[in-house]
Amino acid sequence: MRYRLLVLIFIAVWGLLIVRLYHISIKSNYYYEKLAKENIERKSYLKPVRGEIFDSKDNYLAVNKLGFSVSIAPHLQNRGNELSSVVSELKSYFPDINETVMYRVYKKMSSPYNHKYIKVIDFISYSDMMRYYPKLIADPRIKIDTETKRYYPFGGYAAHIVGYVGRSNRKENRADKVVDIVGKTGKSGLELYYNRVLEGELGYVLSKVNARNQELEVLERKEPVSNRNIKLFLDMDLQRYIFKILEKRAAVVIVMRVTGEILAAVSNPSFNPNLFVGGISVKDWRALQNNLGHPFTNKFINAVYPPGSIIKMGVALATSREGKGILDEHEYCKGFIRIDKSRHKFRCWAQWGHGEVDLRKSIRESCDVYYYEKSLKVGIDKISKTLHDIGLGVRSGVDLPREYRGIIPNKAWKKRRYNLPWYKGETVICAIGQGYDNVTPLQVARYTAFLATGRLPVPRFAREIAGKKVKMSSRKINFNPVHMAIIREGMHDVCNDRRGTAYKTMSRLPIDVAGKTGTAQVVSIPQDVKKRVKEKDLAYFKKSHAWITTYAPYKKPEYVVTVLMEHGGHGGSSAGPIAAKIYRWLYYNGYFKNHPLEEVREELKRLKDIKEAQELGLDINESVEVR
């Protein structure tokens, strides 16, 4: 027994020795070989120049300012007062630099094993550096490298679209080698979504060095891949015009071709993205955070709102799928309905009702009772499925990051979220765009493009990426063509019939527009309130959100204009005038291809002595081009 125990111990000891010998002689060989190679070879990465972003007229939206970074040789803190001497010299040339930060960065990065220069100043402008450049490059303790700094010429006008670039964190550095070397990455908007394109590819110089890390010979050189630019469909003239007419009101506006190309997308209030490039100050960040208008939120994809009556065309289409002539049946509106034996009144916005209502009239006059009745015959699950199919409560696929999905509820959703059953009363409320319904403005614009054409497009900002044109896509969705035609007629009536909810603001345009208004309540109205308080008399945050979503021309649709005024009151009176001004701008700037230039010029002459021409920012003598 003792003999066997000694043999086992002997075998175990020799096994451990063999494993250790393998680890030292074979496995570790790769590590030490690599370490030895790094002692005689140095790989220096060449940073690519970040691609720039342009609008459709080649205006710069994101550019690179040329400048320089400053690095200091390692190990200076061990050589008397050399480090303080270098820092003092730099401070005398550039008084605005922070000495404390320079010392902290240097000491953090300096170690006996680091033989690389340590960057202590990220960016000095070209004009500031040129005065002292000859002196600095003559000092072997200082290294000057070319550097770029992102700059956004239009500031807040396109902040939510373009986004911004900021300093990278450890997680971002680990995920992307280019980001790790450059130290900056896209943080929001197109800068983030297309970061891998814009950042380019690293180059490098492989050099042979001596024991002091001095270059002896260049073994290999690869140039970086730079300037992968992106051109957008965006028209900054239109974008700035919309900001101007909105003034300081909290609103979202989207102007899009029916095929998905986005010409303008405004989320107001906005912010200045240049604040974030070098790191935002605590004061500026708090100002953004404390602003009740939420300027940092991209409201056309990252905020959700109850859609109100603009959802009604979708509910009608859900009803049309049921067949059996349900959508063709008229409903009688006496101002309210009751469900089963309940005494609760689900009221129409018109206190005395609309009388007998068909599909066209229900859209024109936005009758709530019509959709209450239809929804009870169809059910929430079928309504929810159809609304998802036509773009509501689902991501649009737009080329921006972190797009919200929104909510178009059904029975399973409520059970999953609240563990509660669904009630009929919730069905009728959701059928008029209230209750749990929440959508993004971009979803509404996309849904409107579908109503206009029968195709559901994928919205896009990017027109060309690194010189290659972006292919647009859309999906055909089939519904009863008779019902689709009636829905479009009803939307045309909204803007052109005297009984339409947007007639006053949309009927006198130089282009034939169809649309739908919506007034989405943010607070409920108690049953005992017989006479509603007027929107203008409500406190700001209790006012309804005002919607209008439109397309034009009516017969040959080209453009969608969707406007949401936060706490704006009624859609027709609050959002309608904004949409009308946008259509005038598009028309007088030659956007409608079906209208001859001569016709547009005649309209321009008519405006020659009218204030409206100035409001539209038009030069009467300037030639008009079709876009």
DSSP for 333-347, written as a single string: ESSEE--TT----EE
Whether the per-residue pLDDT at 619 is higher than 70: the answer is no
Question: Collapsing DSSP states into helix, strand and coil, what is residue 297?
Answer: coil
Positions marked active-site: 309
E-assigned strands of 423-543?
455-457, 462-465, 468-469, 474-476, 514-520
| Residue 281: both structure tokens together | 């100050």
Question: Collapsing DSSP states into helix, strand and coil, what is residue 93?
Answer: helix
pLDDT digits (tens, 9 = 90+) for 219-235: 888 888 888 999 999 99
Instruction: Specify if 560 maps to a domain.
Output: no
pLDDT digits (tens, 9 = 90+) for 529-581: 555 556 665 666 778 899 999 999 999 999 999 999 999 888 888 999 999 99
Average pLDDT rounded to a whole number, residues 233-246: 96
Whether the per-residue pLDDT at 420 is higher than 80: the answer is yes
| Residue 8: both structure tokens together | 């086992």
- The CA–CA distances, whole Å, from 40 to 110, 210, 430, 463 equal 21, 6, 71, 47
Whether the per-residue pLDDT at 527 is higher than 60: the answer is no
| Residue 79: both structure tokens together | 């050589």
At 187 the pLDDT is 94
- The CA–CA distances, whole Å, from 326 to 258, 271, 451, 489 equal 30, 49, 20, 19
- The CA–CA distances, whole Å, from 72 to 76, 103, 120, 500 equal 8, 11, 7, 71
- pLDDT-derived band at 476 (thresholds 50, 70, 90) equals very high
**Rounded Cα–Cα distance for residues 233 and 137 (Å):** 44
Last residue of a domain, one of 127, 149, 171: 149
Cβ-count burial of 49 within 10 angstroms (0-12 exposed, 13-18 middle, 19+ buried)? Answer: middle
Instruction: Specify if 309 maps to a domain.
Output: yes
Angle between helix 441-453 and helix 481-496 axes, rounded to 10 deg:
120
Question: Collapsing DSSP states into helix, strand and coil, what is residue 407?
Answer: strand
Residues 149 and 34: beta-carbon distance below 8 Å: no
**Rounded Cα–Cα distance for residues 54 and 154 (Å):** 11
| Residue 11: both structure tokens together | 């075998």
Residues 245 and 578: beta-carbon distance below 8 Å: yes
Q: State the sign of the Cα–Cα–Cα–Cα dihedral 52, 53, 56, 58.
A: negative
E-assigned strands of 247-349?
251-257, 262-268, 331-333, 336-337, 346-347
Q: State the sign of the Cα–Cα–Cα–Cα dihedral 276, 279, 284, 285.
A: positive
At 596 the pLDDT is 58
Whether the per-residue pLDDT at 598 is higher than 80: the answer is no
At 4 the pLDDT is 75
Cβ-count burial of 474 within 10 angstroms (0-12 exposed, 13-18 middle, 19+ buried)? Answer: middle
For residues 523 and 519, which has the higher predicted lDDT (pLDDT)?
Answer: 519
pLDDT digits (tens, 9 = 90+) for 21-47: 777 666 566 655 555 555 677 778 888
pLDDT digits (tens, 9 = 90+) for 350-407: 888 899 999 999 999 999 999 999 999 999 999 999 999 999 999 999 999 999 999 9
Query: Percent of the chain having pLDDT more than 90?
Result: 54
**Rounded Cα–Cα distance for residues 601 and 608 (Å):** 11
Residues 144 and 153: beta-carbon distance below 8 Å: no
Question: Collapsing DSSP states into helix, strand and coil, what is residue 88?
Answer: helix
Instruction: Specify if 187 maps to a domain.
Output: no
Instruction: Specify if 493 maps to a domain.
Output: yes
Whether the per-residue pLDDT at 592 is higher than 50: the answer is yes
Count of domains observed in the chain:
2
For residues 107 and 418, which has the higher predicted lDDT (pLDDT)?
Answer: 418
| Residue 597: both structure tokens together | 């230039």
Last residue of a domain, one of 97, 126, 149: 149
Average pLDDT rounded to a whole number, residues 68-72: 88
At 31 the pLDDT is 58
- The CA–CA distances, whole Å, from 538 to 437, 456, 522, 541, 542 equal 23, 37, 11, 8, 6
* 269 cis-preceded (ω within 30 degrees of 0): yes
Q: Could you give the angle at the alpha carbon of 615 between the alpha carbons of 612 and 616, nearest 5°?
A: 90
For residues 146 and 381, which has the higher predicted lDDT (pLDDT)?
Answer: 381
At 391 the pLDDT is 96
**Rounded Cα–Cα distance for residues 83 and 329 (Å):** 87
Instruction: Specify if 356 maps to a domain.
Output: yes
Instruction: Specify if 245 maps to a domain.
Output: no
Instruction: Specify if 375 maps to a domain.
Output: yes
Q: What are residue 563's DSSP bridge partners?
A: 253, 548
**Rounded Cα–Cα distance for residues 272 and 164 (Å):** 9
* pTM of the predicted model as reported, rounded to 2 decimal places: 0.85
**Rounded Cα–Cα distance for residues 144 and 154 (Å):** 30
E-assigned strands of 343-442?
346-347, 355-357
Residues 116 and 43: beta-carbon distance below 8 Å: no
**Rounded Cα–Cα distance for residues 326 and 615 (Å):** 48
For residues 345 and 234, which has the higher predicted lDDT (pLDDT)?
Answer: 234
Q: Per mean pLDDT, which range of 121-135, 262-276, 486-500, 585-599 is the poorest?
A: 585-599
CB atoms within 10 A of CB 225: 16
Whether the per-residue pLDDT at 605 is higher than 90: the answer is no
Last residue of a domain, one of 487, 504, 521: 504
At 290 the pLDDT is 87
* 553 cis-preceded (ω within 30 degrees of 0): yes
Domain carrying residue 89:
65-149
What is the 8-class DSSP label of residue 501? T
Element (H, E) at 34: helix 28-40
At 626 the pLDDT is 45
- The CA–CA distances, whole Å, from 419 to 289, 393, 410, 413, 438 equal 34, 21, 13, 9, 20
Whether the per-residue pLDDT at 12 is higher than 50: the answer is yes
Q: Which amino acid is at 26?
A: I
Token look-up 């749990």 returns 436
- The CA–CA distances, whole Å, from 27 to 13, 21, 23, 37, 473 equal 20, 9, 5, 16, 53
At 595 the pLDDT is 64
Instruction: Specify if 145 maps to a domain.
Output: yes
Question: Collapsing DSSP states into helix, strand and coil, what is residue 58?
Answer: coil
| Dihedral (Cα; 619, 620, 626, 627), 10-degree rounding | 20
Q: Per mean pLDDT, which range of 154-168, 186-200, 205-219 is the poorest?
A: 205-219
Q: Domain with 377 in it: what CATH number?
A: 3.40.710.10
**Rounded Cα–Cα distance for residues 157 and 84 (Å):** 44
At 132 the pLDDT is 86
